[in-house]
Amino acid sequence: MCLKSKAIFLDRDGTINEDYGYVYKLSDLKLIEGVTKELTRLQDKGYLLIIVTNQSGIGRNKYTYEDALRFNDGLLTVLKKEKVFITDVFMCPHVPEENCECRKPKPGMLRGAMKKYNIDPGQSYMLGDKMSDVECGQNAGVSSFLITQKNDLHHWVDLILKEDI
């Protein structure tokens, strides 16, 4: 039997980096204070770090898919300099009206990642700043936590690592 991986699914804007609405310019990239420390703690315990992000600005013609890819690449470069290694980024470019399977709260991005990386949902978590993130995780069968305040990420990471013993 093949051993399954455990993962932390992370929303991007508002969870890893500051959310100013339609964030796609590298000049607007600002990491949330303390995020690299918390992600390092998770990665050091063997969790894959996977970003799952709705980017409806693409579907609304606010920016291009290539702009979003450039931003993601820049974000991963900044995180890598801090020794945080993101396994993959799954991105939904659709507007809600398209009713696609990948847009959170639907679980398409998480299910795609679980299949690609042989992830056990029972050992995995979703962290995000919107209820659609929490619902997405629940819809995919993973425990989910809502980040609404500055210290929430630290609190949830403590809880995850306590359960991981």
The structural domains of the chain, ordered by start, are 7-163 (3.40.50.1000)
The answer to whether 29 and 17 are in contact (CB under 8 A) is yes
Q: Is the pLDDT of residue 2 over 80?
A: no
* φ/ψ bin of 141: left (φ > 0), alpha (ψ from -120 to 50), beta (otherwise): left
* Rounded average pLDDT over 18-32: 95
Please return the burial class of 70, using the count of CB atoms within 10 Å of its CB with bins 0-12, 13-18 and 19+: middle
Instruction: Enter the tokens of residue 129.
Output: 């700043």
The answer to whether 11 and 130 are in contact (CB under 8 A) is yes
Quickly state the pLDDT bin for 165 (edges 50, 70, 90): low
Quickly state the pLDDT bin for 35 (edges 50, 70, 90): very high
Output the pLDDT for position 18.
95
pLDDT tens by residue, 131-162: 999 999 999 999 999 999 877 999 999 999 99
pLDDT tens by residue, 114-130: 999 999 999 999 999 99
Quickly state the pLDDT bin for 99 (edges 50, 70, 90): very high
Catalytic residue among 13, 152, 158, 164: 13
| Annotation marks residue 44 as catalytic | no
| Annotation marks residue 11 as catalytic | yes
Instruction: Enter the tokens of residue 148.
Output: 């609404």
Q: Is the pLDDT of residue 1 over 70?
A: no
The helix/strand/coil state of 144 is strand
The answer to whether 114 and 125 are in contact (CB under 8 A) is no
pTM of the model: 0.95
Q: Is the pLDDT of residue 58 over 80?
A: yes
Q: Is the pLDDT of residue 112 over 80?
A: yes
